[in-house]
C-alpha cells in the first residue's frame, strides 16, 4: 500500500496537470478572498473558507476523475487488482494520495493568515480548526469523486457527474432553496449539507457530531468504491 501511495502521489507531482490544478486552486481562492477582503473591510478567514468550499467542487473532481476511470480505460485496473494487495488498500492508497495533494494545495494559501496576522489579531486555533474543516470537506469530495470515477471509463463523465452531485450537496445548506421549500424541510435538508457542518469548523468549534458526519460520509463512499471494484474481480 505504501508503494502504491507513493506511485499515485508521484504521478501528480511529476505531472504538469497535477501542479496546474493545485496552483490554480491556490491562486483562485487567494484572489477571490483578497478581492472580497477589501470589499468587506474585515480581516477574517471565514470568507476564505466559504469561497474555498465552492472552488473544491471543481478542483477536486479535476484531480480525481482519472484515478480509476483512466485505469479502466487503459486496462491497467485488472493488473492492479491482481497485485498482492487488497482492493481496500488500493482504494485507500489512491484516496490518501489525493488527500495529500489537497493538503499541499491548502498549504499554498497559508500566506493569507500569516499576512493578516500583521494587520489584525487573528485567533490561531480558530484558523487551524477552519483548515481542518476544509480537509474534512475535501475528504468527502475526494471519496465521492473516486466513487464516480469507479463507475465509468470516461474521465469527462466522471468529472461532470462529480461536479453536479457535489454542487447539489452544497446548495442543500445555502439560501438558494429558501424560495422553494418551507422552513421545516430546509432545516431537515440543512443537517445533511456539508456546509452546515463546515460552519462549525469555520467558527472555530470542534463539534464531534460534525467530525462524525464527515468521517461517516468518507467511509461510506470509500466502501462503495471498494465494493464496486470488487465486483470486477
For residue range 141-195, list pLDDT tens digits in order. 999 999 999 888 888 999 999 999 998 888 875 666 656 666 666 666 777 788 8
Q: Is the pLDDT of residue 42 over 60?
A: no
Mean pLDDT of the chain: 82
Report whether 122 contacts 43 (CB < 8 A). Answer: yes
Residues 6+ apart with CB under 8 A from 48: 29, 33, 109, 112
DSSP assignment, residue 177? G
Report whether 5 contacts 97 (CB < 8 A). Answer: yes
Separation between Cα atoms, residue 154 and residue 151, nearest integer Å: 9
Mean pLDDT of 28-34: 73
Q: Is the pLDDT of residue 221 over 90?
A: yes
Name residue, grid cell 466522471. 158
Assign 3-class secondary structure to 116-169: HCCCCCCCHHHHHHHHHHHHHHHHHHHHHHHHHHCCCCCHHHHHHHHHHHHHHH
Report whether 135 contacts 53 (CB < 8 A). Answer: no
Q: Is the pLDDT of residue 41 over 60?
A: no
Percentage of the chain exceeding pLDDT 70: 84
For residue 72, CA distances in Å to 2, 5, 7, 81, 155 come to: 22, 18, 17, 11, 10
* Residue 70 grid cell: 483512466
Separation of first and last alpha carbons in the chain: 18
Report whether 143 contacts 222 (CB < 8 A). Answer: yes
Biggest alpha carbon distance in the chain?
58
Least confident window among 78-82, 127-131, 194-198, 205-209? 78-82
Q: Look at the chain and count its residues.
A: 233
pTM of the model: 0.88
Amino acid at each position: 500500500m505504501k508503494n502504491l501511495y507513493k506511485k499515485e502521489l508521484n504521478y501528480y507531482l511529476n505531472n504538469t496537470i497535477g501542479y496546474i490544478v493545485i496552483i490554480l486552486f491556490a491562486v483562485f481562492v487567494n484572489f477571490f478572498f483578497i478581492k472580497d477582503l477589501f470589499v468587506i473591510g474585515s480581516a477574517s478567514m471565514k470568507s476564505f473558507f466559504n469561497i474555498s468550499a465552492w472552488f473544491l467542487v471543481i478542483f477536486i473532481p479535476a484531480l480525481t476523475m482519472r484515478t480509476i476511470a483512466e485505469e479502466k480505460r487503459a486496462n491497467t485496473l485488472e493488473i492492479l487488482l491482481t497485485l498482492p494487495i487488497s482492493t481496500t488498500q488500493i482504494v485507500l492508497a489512491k484516496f490518501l494520495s489525493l488527500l495529500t495533494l489537497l493538503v499541499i494545495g491548502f498549504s499554498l494559501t497559508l500566506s493569507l493568515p500569516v499576512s493578516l496576522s500583521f494587520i489584525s489579531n487573528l485567533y490561531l486555533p480558530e484558523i487551524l480548526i477552519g483548515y481542518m474543516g476544509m480537509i474534512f470537506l475535501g475528504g468527502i469530495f475526494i471519496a465521492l469523486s473516486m466513487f464516480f470515477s469507479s463507475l465509468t471509463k470516461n474521465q469527462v463523465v466522471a468529472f461532470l457527474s462529480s461536479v453536479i452531485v457535489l454542487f447539489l450537496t452544497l446548495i442543500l445548506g445555502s439560501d438558494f432553496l429558501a424560495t422553494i421549500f418551507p422552513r421545516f424541510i430546509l432545516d431537515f435538508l440543512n443537517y445533511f449539507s456539508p456546509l452546515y457542518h463546515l460552519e462549525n469548523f469555520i467558527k472555530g468549534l470542534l463539534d464531534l457530531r460534525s467530525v462524525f458526519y464527515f468521517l461517516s460520509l468518507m467511509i461510506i463512499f470509500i466502501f462503495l468504491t471498494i465494493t464496486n471494484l470488487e465486483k470486477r474481480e
